[in-house]
Chain A
Amino acid sequence: MAYGIRLHVWGRNGLFTRPELKVERVTYDVMTPSAARGILEAIHWKPAISWVIDRIHVLEPIRFQQIRRNEVGHKAPAGTIKQAMNRGDLGGVQLLADEDRQQRASTVLVAPAYVIEAHFTLTAKAGAEDSEGKHLDIFNRRAERGQCFHQPCLGTREFAAHFALIAPGAALPPRASQAETADLGFGTPRDLGLMLWDIDHTAPGRPSMFFRARLVDGVMAVPAPGSAEVLR
């Protein structure tokens, strides 16, 4: 863990959608490693580096709420757009929201707060100018000043994530004593079942990879890439 970073993230709500429940979205109990990676990439990322999530600390009790919203049922069809482009007029390129309504409920997390522990490795795309120290400095500088490429989010973009860097050697933000319950795996480890680890964007069809998530004393350890615990 020579190049580890720790980032405190929190927000009003979070929605880390379970892939098996994504029409009426239901969130996982805890942030997924892939969402944590997205938060780090919102602050600093280059093709030369790849973030690896090591641990996720859960700081707040796990609570849920229901929100139902009007959504649209369709995406923009590429074919229609292409035809309009070739024709050079906008006819037919629109989506009438109230004729394409779907009311969907989401089960979201309330007031989640986490500490992401992560490090990065250099990828094959790293050039001579990419040193680990450089990228570590860039990330730390940005996270400390609150700079970001875009505001990170807790699962979906309407739930913005606020973030603060935890300096090396500094203590973690305190966890309220009432949060130290069996729900967070205090006393006995809590099994969260299979959880999305990340999506393999390099393989054809972009398959999802899963792992057996467990909360031990409020901390979820994340298996390393390529370990036997990551299931395809």
Chain B
Amino acid sequence: MFPILEKKEMAERTICQLKIHAPDIAKKVKPGQFVILRVNEAGERIPLTVADKNPLEGTIVIIFQIVGKTTALLRKLKVGQNIKDVVGPLGQPTEIEKVGKVVCIGGGTGVAILHHLTKGLFEIGNEVISIIGARTKSLIILEQEMKAISNELVVCTDDGSYGYHGFVTQALQEAIKKNPDIKKAVAIGPVPMMKATVDVTRDPYIPTIVSLNPIMVDGTGMCGVCRCTVDGKTKFACVDGPDFDGHKVDFDELQQRLCTYLGQEKESLLFSIK
């Protein structure tokens, strides 16, 4: 059992943050790694990236968007209640190296994952340009936190309600024009956003790391539901990733596989409110 110590609604009814007591995981987890959790006995296993950790108090932080039954259940949990199973750390940590100037791009709740990485990149002395975006102002998360670990921060909204009016990819194009010396890009967010980012960084070429979000069950490499095609080869995102070279990922296949259970996801949600 994994008790919840703190809970925060980051964007009303959409994005939620939980601090969970999981001392062994807190000691080991590195930026880019994730956990799999199961809320209760009848629950499903879902993957969530660890957004932050505090090994001294033995806690990890997860941030999630409420998109279906399990995330809704998770949001309903109160401080002091438990999550039945939390397993991790899983996946390969993101390679954090000093390259000079990097650009970190995050969309929606992807910013939660990006934050942990950006912190790592910033702390070892990279010059960090961060571009974060969401549909509208109320869905922007971690703005202050990102500001503290970036040399430059651009906030975008699709509807122009806050900051730069447009997609993160548009802001990225401008940033590349201004900073031809960008050595590396990291992009985390919905599949269409990552795909569009990679289209931008293809010419002029900037190595781009993406964090993939396929369906997972066990998260330990035993089932292959999270398989993705990278550079023409099948990879398991849970053990070989979730980070991959964005220029080599088959995003269309990923998007297609993500739709496998759309019907049943809806059915499950409707059944739970009946």
Q: Do A and B share a complex?
A: no
Where the two chains meet, the residues of A that have a C-beta atom closer than 8 Å to any C-beta of B are none
